[in-house]
Amino acid sequence: MIKVCKFGGTSMADGTNMRRVADIVAADDSRRYVVVSAPGKRFGGDTKITDLLYETYRNVAESGETGEAFLKVKERFRGITAELGLNYEIEKLLSDTEAEILKEKSEDFTASRGEYLSARLTAALLNVPFIDAREVVKFDEAGRFDGALTDTLLKAALKGKKRAVVSGFYGEDAFGKVKTFSRGGSDISGAIVARAAGASLYENWTDVSGFLACDPRIVPNPEQIRALSYKELRELSYMGANVLHSESIFPVREADIPIRIKNTFRPEDEGTDILPTSKYRYSGRTVTGIAGKKNFTVVFIEKSLMNAEIGFTHKVLSVLLKHEISFEHMPSGIDTMSFVIDSEQLKHGVLEAVCEEIREAVHPDNLRTYDDIALIAVVGHGMSRNVGTSARLFQAIANAGVNVRMIDQGSSELNIIVGVDNENYERTLNAVYDEFFKES
């Protein structure tokens, strides 16, 4: 059995935490390959190493010097090395890194050095080989991740190594320059290594013991989710459950490798398993989890016989494309169509411009907008197995005295999304959670 372990920024924040990481890896011989993030915050008010490195890049771009920010980076890594008691030439490593930052003058290169330095120290701590992601993770000429080439290079690099540490978050483009992943970077790196290694399990170690059925900042002591499918993960993470972003795990999803979310600070906790369809088993619960987000705007369009007007939707979407606006959902009827859009995209007169251009493009009978809308997603494979799920959901919302402004249900019957006023978001979330998770 081969396990690949990815450790997040909190797990790497200082020497004490890195010792925990080393103990976790040593406790299981099947934990073969380790991917690490840059050190995160040690306490409230602290600054992540990656943020300091972005500031370092800005200093280099403006003044040609790394400035105060990189002094703080060096101080953090000196401190970690001292805490670990490593006999390591940290000063040379930091000096060489600073010289490369000044030479490259690249935002991606500078930002990637947190993972690079973190992985170098972790490899020294574990006394195992270090694999620089720059040598094995590749992007093509268009800047897209090259999965086939990366898989080939990584397999060759891992071959014959009982254990190794791989730096996360970055790789190299077709022009020999360091390139970072845009989101969930180290999570993507961990998933890439798991696929190349042919792992039986991808362990993603963080500072929580897995997914909860609802946001604990709103619902007191929500139940933990023991297992969910990749599809359920995508729905929940898309709607704000931020333990693991669904787009970050595509390499292991393609390879049908299960993921386990584990807590570095409570390694004895079970965690949450994220399973491919072939390995997922129905838990017996109607709803697996509930998630949501605030601050959406709904653009409502009404026109008689719009269904018979060829190109109607295309014309509306062309307006959104022109303004580079993405939409979350598109509920529709025979003569109506709505677009649910993150309000952040519609600031500074953009909403007014979009509405005017839609009027010019399709001449609707009616066009209205509704702002301050919150979306709540109720997710679970069990919803299709249990009669009356929708009735229970809407009765719970009605009993809470909340008016539903929008309903959107996919044909997969995996989720139901409701829109309510922002001011009713917390009340609705609690009401829905109580209905499905406090069953007698």
Where are the domains positioned within the chain?
Answer: 3-275, 289-437
| Other CB atoms within 10 Å distance of the CB of residue 399 | 11
Q: What is residue 150's predicted lDDT score, i.e. its pLDDT?
A: 97
Between helix 67-84 and helix 107-126 the angle, nearest 10°, is: 10
Q: Which two tokens stand for residue 14?
A: 């200082």
Given a cut of 60, whether residue 228 has pLDDT beyond it is yes
Q: What is residue 407's predicted lDDT score, i.e. its pLDDT?
A: 85
The mean per-residue pLDDT over the stretch 18-43 comes to: 96
Q: What percent of the chain has pLDDT over 90?
A: 80
Q: What is residue 420's predicted lDDT score, i.e. its pLDDT?
A: 95
Given a cut of 80, whether residue 244 has pLDDT beyond it is no
Cβ burial, residue 259 (10 Å; 0-12/13-18/19+) = buried
| Range name among 5-14, 46-55, 403-412 with the lowest pLDDT average | 403-412
Q: What is the DSSP secondary-structure string of 76-107?
A: HHHHHHHHHT----HHHHHHHHHHHHHHH--H
The mean per-residue pLDDT over the stretch 28-33 comes to: 97
| Range name among 179-193, 238-252, 350-364, 419-433 with the lowest pLDDT average | 238-252
Q: Rounded mean pLDDT of the chain? A: 92
Local structure of 414: helix, strand or coil? coil
The mean per-residue pLDDT over the stretch 291-302 comes to: 94
Given a cut of 80, whether residue 439 has pLDDT beyond it is no
Specify which residues 292 forms β-bridges with: 376
Residue that is written with structure tokens 């719009």 in the block: 306
| Candidate CATH numbers 2.10.10.90, 3.40.50.720, 3.40.1160.10, 3.40.50.20; the one for domain 3-275 | 3.40.1160.10
Number of H helices, E strands in the chain: 14, 15
| Range name among 140-154, 171-185, 269-283, 358-372 with the lowest pLDDT average | 269-283
Higher-scoring residue by pLDDT: 34, 277: 34
**For residue 411, what pLDDT band results from cuts at 50, 70 and 90?**
low
Torsion of CA 180, 186, 190, 196, to 10 degrees: 0
Given a cut of 70, whether residue 268 has pLDDT beyond it is yes
Distance CA 98, CA 115 (A): 14
Q: What is residue 225's predicted lDDT score, i.e. its pLDDT?
A: 92
Q: Give, in order, the Cα–Cα distances in Å from 123 to each of 49, 132, 164, 202.
A: 19, 11, 7, 19
Q: Read off φ and ψ for residue 390, nearest 5 degrees.
A: -60, -40
| Range name among 107-116, 325-334, 421-430 with the lowest pLDDT average | 325-334
Helix (H) / strand (E) element for 418: namely strand 415-421
Q: How many CA atoms lie within 13 A of 421 on its CB side?
A: 5
Distance CA 5, CA 205 (A): 7
Q: What is residue 65's predicted lDDT score, i.e. its pLDDT?
A: 96
Q: What is residue 183's predicted lDDT score, i.e. its pLDDT?
A: 61
Specify which residues 421 forms β-bridges with: 373
The conformational region for residue 45 under phi > 0 = left, psi -120 to 50 = alpha, else beta, is left
Distance CA 414, CA 427 (A): 23
Q: Which amino acid is at 152?
A: T
Which residue blocks in 182-309 are alpha helix, DSSP H? 185-197, 230-238, 250-254
Q: What is residue 376's predicted lDDT score, i.e. its pLDDT?
A: 93
Specify which residues 339 forms β-bridges with: 299
Q: Which two tokens stand for residue 271?
A: 């965690």
Given a cut of 60, whether residue 206 has pLDDT beyond it is yes
Q: Give, in order, the Cα–Cα distances in Å from 285 to each of 240, 288, 290, 381.
A: 21, 6, 13, 9
The mean per-residue pLDDT over the stretch 280-298 comes to: 88
Q: What is the pTM of this model?
A: 0.85
Q: How many CA atoms lie within 13 A of 41 on its CB side?
A: 7
Q: What is residue 240's predicted lDDT score, i.e. its pLDDT?
A: 67
What tens digit of pLDDT does each residue of 311-333 get? 999 999 999 999 999 998 888 88
Q: Does the domain spanning 289-437 belong to CATH 3.40.50.720?
A: no
The mean per-residue pLDDT over the stretch 73-87 comes to: 96
Contacts of 346 (CB under 8 A, 6+ apart): 297, 325, 354
Q: What is residue 429's predicted lDDT score, i.e. its pLDDT?
A: 95
Q: What is residue 319's predicted lDDT score, i.e. its pLDDT?
A: 96
| Range name among 26-40, 167-181, 331-345, 410-424 with the lowest pLDDT average | 410-424
Given a cut of 80, whether residue 421 has pLDDT beyond it is yes
Q: What is residue 440's predicted lDDT score, i.e. its pLDDT?
A: 39
| Range name among 27-41, 115-129, 302-316 with the lowest pLDDT average | 302-316
Given a cut of 50, whether residue 357 has pLDDT beyond it is yes
